[in-house]
Amino acid sequence: WTSQKVKGAYADNLNSMKVVAIPVASATDQALHGVEEDGDASLKETCKDVKHGGTIIPANGTCHKLVFDQTLWQSLFTVNASNAVAVAFFTEHFPTEFEATAHYLKDKNGEDIEPVAELPEKKSGDGGSTSTKDDKPWGKVI
């Protein structure tokens, strides 16, 4: 997971961001909706600090607080998804707010991982949203 400073600061001058990573059986819209309530609830829990260079291990009911290294232009975190076929990510902010030159999620070869499904869903044809809930992009991980 990559979080970069944009125009000299992390998004909204933040020091951290909450992330929930839940292992799911498949990278589908149905699987994402199946853990949506758990993801939303976990974001409200006390989160475990994960500093630059630390590891996120996907688990239901676990919230991670990514702590950005303010002395660096980007903070990197490893997602150990060895226990999951796919991972549903729920985040406090849009992950793209932390992109300057690199995508927020990459595989072990450095290739971008794009979300297979997102909340809220976009209306077909116009790119707008049909939900009032915060976005929670996710994607299949390694």
CA distance 97 to 53: 20
Alpha carbons within 13 A on the beta-carbon side of 83: 11
d(CA 19, CA 34) in angstroms, rounded, equals 18
Tokens of 2: 């990559």
Q: What is the per-residue pLDDT for 129?
A: 40
Alpha-carbon distance 135 to 55, whole Å?
Answer: 23
Q: Lowest-pLDDT range, 5-19, 53-67, 90-104, 111-125?
A: 111-125
Residue spans of alpha helices (H) in 2-62:
29-34, 36-43
Residue 32 has pLDDT above 90, yes or no: yes
Read off the pLDDT of residues 76-119 as tens digits, 9 standing for 90 and up.
999 999 989 999 999 999 899 999 999 999 998 999 999 999 88
Give me the residue label for tokens 């600090």: 49
Are the C-beta atoms of 56 and 3 separated by less than 8 Å?
Answer: no
User: Based on C-alpha coordinates, what's the Rg of the chain?
Assistant: 14
- Is 134's pLDDT higher than 90? no
